[in-house]
Homo-oligomer: A and B are copies of this chain.
């Protein structure tokens, strides 16, 4: 069935620092009206850097919304108009210092399609070359090297909580197990 919801009018907007929020009145396929609230986000990329020995370079950083340090793969927001693949190269270099000989797309996903427009583009980075990390001025993180097999196990035990890291670890592990990368 077609359940398309058509925007009738914008009721209000909130202009934030990273996100904006739009509140719309929308018309449902059956003619009734509802409010739809959308957090508008520029989207981002996340990169799983895997070395020849099967280790992944992760970062541990403080996440303000949860007031704790989280173990994640390197990631960052897209600049306006930026190509996701180039953004992935930039973020990998900034956060870990690595450049990669090969980027394999792991697809993209919508982090929370009920209320947010954020799209996350995932990459597997291979053939890594070490360099110097140069994170943003207000970005502090530790780099940690962990076997992909251990990350997968931690995900399956429910010990890793960052969505993009969970998706990238499980996808990369499944594709590698089937020799599809």
The yes or no answer to A130 lying at the interface (CB within 8 A) is no
CA A53 to CA B34, docked complex, whole Å: 38
A116 & B113 in contact (Cβ 8 Å cutoff): no
Complex CA–CA separation, A167 to B156 (angstroms): 10
> Which of the segments A19-27, A85-93, A94-102 contacts the partner chain?
A19-27
B162 x A180 contact (CB < 8 A): no
Set of chain B residues within 8 Å of A152, measured between Cβ atoms: 174
Q: Which residues of B contact A39 (CB under 8 A)?
A: 19, 39, 65, 116
Q: How many monomers of this chain does the complex have?
A: 2
Interface of A is mostly: mixed
Complex CA gap A138/B29 in Å reads: 10
Complex: how many Å from CA A74 to CA B19? 27
A95: min CB distance to chain B, Å:
13
Interface membership of A5, Cβ < 8 A: yes
Question: Is B161 a contact of A110 with CB atoms below 8 Å?
Answer: yes
Give the B-binding residues of A (Cβ under 8 A).
Answer: 1-5, 14, 16-19, 21, 23-24, 26, 28-30, 32, 34-39, 41, 44, 61-67, 69-70, 72, 75, 77, 105-118, 120, 138, 140-142, 152, 155-158, 160-163, 166-167, 170-171, 173-175, 178, 180
Top 6 nearest A-B pairs (CB, nearest first) are A107-B158, A170-B170, A3-B62, A3-B140, A36-B64, A111-B112
